[in-house]
Amino acid sequence: MTWRAIFARPYIEGAGTIPTERLADLMGALGITLDPTQLAEASEQLDADKAGTVSYGEFVMWWNG
């Protein structure tokens, strides 16, 4: 499954974002398991503005980074 497909799932908010607490679900759907430290680091990088969400654009830049 691609990240594009993941962002189309029902838990995605209408603005094209996912709640930061769903990041583990997103990564798991992509076949990637993050340990708690890795998940915390990814969350911090992806939610630098501390909004509690990860946008599609932020994720794509991080993923391709």
Predicted confidence (pLDDT) per residue in 1-54, tens digit: 666 666 666 555 566 788 888 889 888 888 899 999 999 999 999 998 888 988
pLDDT computed for residue 17 by the predictor: 81
Match domain 3-64 to its CATH number in 3.40.50.2300, 1.10.238.10, 1.10.10.10, 1.10.287.130: 1.10.238.10
The number of beta carbons lying within 10 Å of the beta carbon of residue 59 is 20
The domain ranges of the chain are 3-64
Residue 42 — left, alpha, or beta (φ > 0 → left; ψ -120 to 50 → alpha)?
Answer: alpha
Report the predicted TM-score, pTM, of the whole model to 2 decimal places: 0.74
Q: Which pLDDT does position 63 carry in this prediction? A: 87
Please tell me the distance from the alpha carbon of residue 46 to that of residue 10, in angstroms, as a whole number: 20
**What per-residue confidence (pLDDT) applies to 2?**
67
pLDDT for residue 25: 86
